[in-house]
Structure 1
Amino acid sequence: MVPATPDSFGTLPGVSAAEVRPASPSDAAEIARIQRIAWREAYTDLLGAEAIDSLDAADLEGTWAETIGYPASAVYLATEGSFTVGYCVAGPAPEDEAAAADGSLPTDAGATGLIASLVVEPRWGRRGHAGRLLATAADGLRAQGLSRGITWVAQSDHATLGFYRRAGWAPDGTVRTLDTGRGTLREVRLTGTLELELTR
């Protein structure tokens, strides 16, 4: 599941020292903290409070430390002052993520990047952080020679769908259904250019 907190592309007056930087292994605990908060808000109804509460902080932190060190992807952090407020994971899209529903690959599969996760802690929403994260991730993907991006968003998450639409991305007609153990989550795939002009 890839929760993404919607955001405006601009920066509100009075917001200072807001930036995006690459994550380091020492950031793993903060990323895990934000993930637990975001999942509690986005998925409690779907997964149940017990499942959310059972997310082990140490296990999540270890997973994030491994993700940050994984050479095929990049993890970015959004900060405001001394606070870590969001994160984004991006990299070249694996073939199974870029493939059509019938398993066939598009001609530009090798030039496609994946926004695997984009999350802003809810209390820091609508301050430009998600837009800066997406723009920075797009820059990094373009630097790897990629030209198109994809991501997956819950079909019921209209706010996040709207965020990506404002970035110029749109559903490409591919959907998938994930089994959560308590039900199913239907996600749609969105795609768009990596030539973004968002406020950083």
Structure 2
Amino acid sequence: MTSPARPGLPGRAEVSVRPARPDEAAAIAAVQLVTWRTAYRALLPAAVLDDWDEAAAISTWRTAVLSPPTPAHGVLVALDGAVVAGFAAFGPAELAAGEEPLPEGATTELTALLVEPRWGRRGHGSRLLAAVVDLGADSGVVRLQMWLPEDDTVTARFLEGAGWAPDGWVRTLDTGSSTFRQLRWHTLLDDERGVQ
């Protein structure tokens, strides 16, 4: 999962994706906060973003890494040199209201795919997504899905470029002071570890 530095570009940091370690929980929480404040300022209540409970977020991510709810849950980090530039979290898919269940383990849900804006456009998101695809294919997953705020056009364009599409399911989340709609995106894994 590591891409070596390119020859002829001295000083270019090595980039990689690997499973997160417990001591990276603070870095993961920091990426989440900075990215949410940048991308979702108009979507999430100010209290969520401005009154961020850093200790609780770090504890939550440490638990997710150390004691995932099932073996199918995981957290990956994207590294730029030694810096955590982004992360992905995934697990068994939750059904939408009224949705018929798929065979157990057939679908993995990407619950977070965030790259801190200062590390954007360097391939970290693509590497994270490719790693989730590889892990899913290794464990027999045939479909990936992700709920995305309807107004998040940046991530929507990224997923579309990776072969994903909305699957028609919509849900409304209540933030406590407002609501927003999420669309569910999905892709099917093919036999060659790509997407259809």
Q: More helix by proportion, 1 or 2?
A: 1
Any conservation in 2 of the 1:98–1:112 contact (CA below 8 Å)?
A: no
Any conservation in 2 of the 1:32–1:60 contact (CA below 8 Å)?
A: yes
Deviations along 1:89-136, one digit per CA (max 9) or x if unpaired, are: 12222xxx234x423224x56411111110000111111000000000
Match in the other structure for 2:34: 37
How far 1:181 moved relative to its partner?
A: 1.5
Match in the other structure for 1:5: none
TM-score computed with the length of structure 1 as normaliser: 0.83
Any conservation in 2 of the 1:25–1:68 contact (CA below 8 Å)?
A: yes
Deviations along 1:64-92, one digit per CA (max 9) or x if unpaired, are: 01111213311100011121100001222
Aligned residue among 19, 24, 37 for 1:27: 24
Partner Cα separation in structure 1 for residue 26 and residue 113 of structure 2: 17
Q: Which stretches of structure 1, 4 residues or longer, exceed 6 Å deviation after superposition?
A: none
Aligned residue among 103, 125, 129 for 2:124: 129
Any conservation in 2 of the 1:38–1:121 contact (CA below 8 Å)?
A: yes
How far 1:38 moved relative to its partner?
A: 1.0
Residue type at the aligned position of 2:98 = D
**Superposition RMSD on alpha carbons, in Å?**
2.2
Higher relative contact order (CA 8 A, sep 6+): 1
How far 1:29 moved relative to its partner?
A: 0.6
Partner Cα separation in structure 2 for residue 174 and residue 156 of structure 1: 15
Q: Any idea what SS the aligned residue of 1:149 has?
A: strand
Any conservation in 1 of the 2:144–2:187 contact (CA below 8 Å)?
A: yes
Any conservation in 2 of the 1:139–1:194 contact (CA below 8 Å)?
A: no
How many equivalent residue pairs? 183
Q: 2:88 matched to 1:92?
A: no
Q: 2:140 matched to 1:145?
A: yes
Q: Which structure is larger by alpha-carbon Rg, 1 or 2?
A: 2
Structure 2 unaligned regions, length at least 5: none
Any conservation in 1 of the 2:45–2:175 contact (CA below 8 Å)?
A: no
Partner Cα separation in structure 2 for residue 22 and residue 122 of structure 1: 21
Any conservation in 1 of the 2:172–2:181 contact (CA below 8 Å)?
A: yes
Structure 1 unaligned regions, length at least 5: 1-10
Match in the other structure for 2:101: 105
TM-score computed with the length of structure 2 as normaliser: 0.85
Partner Cα separation in structure 2 for residue 143 and residue 91 of structure 1: 14
Percent of matched pairs sharing the same residue: 42
More off after superposition, 24-33 vs 69-78:
69-78
